Structure 1
Amino acid sequence: MASFIDDLLGKLFPKKSTSIKHKENFTQTEEAIADVTAWAQSTEGKNLLNLVKKNYHFKTSGMNASPEVHILKSPYANGFAVSFDRPFDAKSFSKLFFAFGQRMLDLGYQKISLDRKFEEINEAVKTTEKQYFKPPLSNADFNEKIDQLFGNVSIEKISVNDQPSYLKVLVMVYSDSLYKDARPFEDFMDDLFEN
């Protein structure tokens, strides 16, 4: 009988969770966008982009280099993650995150969202900044299969207690019969790092 009353009281007066969970949309200023564009074309930006590309190819060959790149592979999603390490600093790591987003726009994608999520996990605060892109459907001829390009693209920058941890780029393909097959992921990598 006591457990019935405890269950009833638990439903009427649930214990309050003290963990933090908050999600918000945000935008970049025109000045911030121009700053990222200039950084991506600068010597520093090109060198860091080329380093990530080189380390990705090293990883596909079974070698590790710093900053370490991790390969993400499944039948419907492919991608990579870059660990925060030298020669990156917090500022250049953030610029890399936004530079990847600008590159998606250059490839004809539409930005669907730019958001930030805060979560308390084991007395630490995890912050996830995320950009989400979809192929353009506005110019699709619906009498033919829709070109999904490479699929949907998610770009995330994860920080723990305001310290960058890693950056993840994930490409998810549509497996719907309305869509053409996605272009190969290796072509995506070539296009993403083209400068």
Structure 2
Amino acid sequence: MGFFDNVVGKLFGKQNGKSAFIHEVLSRSEREISAYEAWKNTPECSTIIADIERGYYLKKQGIASSMEVHLLESQYSNGFAITFNQEFTPENFQHVFDYFKEKGLDQGYKLAQADRRILDKDTYEETIEKWYLKPNGVDDSTGIADQKYGNILIEKVAIDRKENYMKLMANIYQDRQYTEAKPFTELIELLFKPEK
């Protein structure tokens, strides 16, 4: 173990392959927000979101497309992942990531967590940006929380500072304290609904 690793280990505890070397709040600069707002009104935004939607529905039918979409389906979690490829630039990939967060917020969700973790793996560096959205709360008249589509997790992953993939997952509660979750298919339609 080198001197630096030894000092870091003493100050922050031993680092393993899964601990964050850097863990910070994820926020956007004014410049990034302006660029995103401008991007939403461009043909590129409409085209990319339509391509992701087409890739999603083609994948549901077992058909490959140029937009690499992967389905993530289980009893309590549903979602999809998108592989970074020639259809994207790092900038518009980030915009798509922020777009899905905004679409979730439009459905009555609140941002519960926003963070960036940089993990120092043995042979590479992994950066994970995360938006974590939760339904707004409990209905005071019934005491039951409307879980909507469940909690929504949106992550964007880069390997060695190069974009790799993003995923969106809706995880539902199986508990009497929550309403029954709305169908994931409905959330998908809302996520891909064009901007007005």
TM-score normalised per structure 1: 0.86
Which blocks of at least 5 consecutive residues in structure 2 are unaligned?
1-12
User: Counterpart of 2:171?
Assistant: 172
**CA shift in 2, pair 1:54/1:146, >3 Å:** same
Residue 135 (str. 1) matches residue 135 (str. 2): yes
Structure 1 residue runs of 4 or more that deviate by more than 3 Å after TM superposition = 15-20
Does 53-62 or 143-152 show the bigger shift? 143-152
Distance in 2 (alpha carbons) for counterparts of 1:90 and 1:35:
13
CA contact (8 A) 1:37 1:99 kept: no
AA partner of residue 166 (structure 1): Y
| RMSD of aligned Cα (Å) | 1.8
User: Counterpart of 1:49?
Assistant: 49
Number of equivalent positions = 180
Which blocks of at least 5 consecutive residues in structure 1 are unaligned?
1-14
| SS of match in other structure, 2:115 | strand
User: Counterpart of 1:149?
Assistant: 148
Q: How do 1:1-195 residues align onto structure 2 when only pairs under 5 Å count? A: 17=15, 21-137=21-137, 140-195=139-194
AA partner of residue 189 (structure 1): I
CA contact (8 A) 2:26 2:129 kept: no
| Aligned-pair identity (%) | 31
Distance in 1 (alpha carbons) for counterparts of 2:137 and 2:51:
33
CA contact (8 A) 1:55 1:66 kept: yes
State the Cα distance separating 1:26 from its structure 2 match: 2.6
State the Cα distance separating 1:16 from its structure 2 match: 5.2
Specify the structure having the higher radius of gyration (Cα).
1
TM-score normalised per structure 2: 0.85
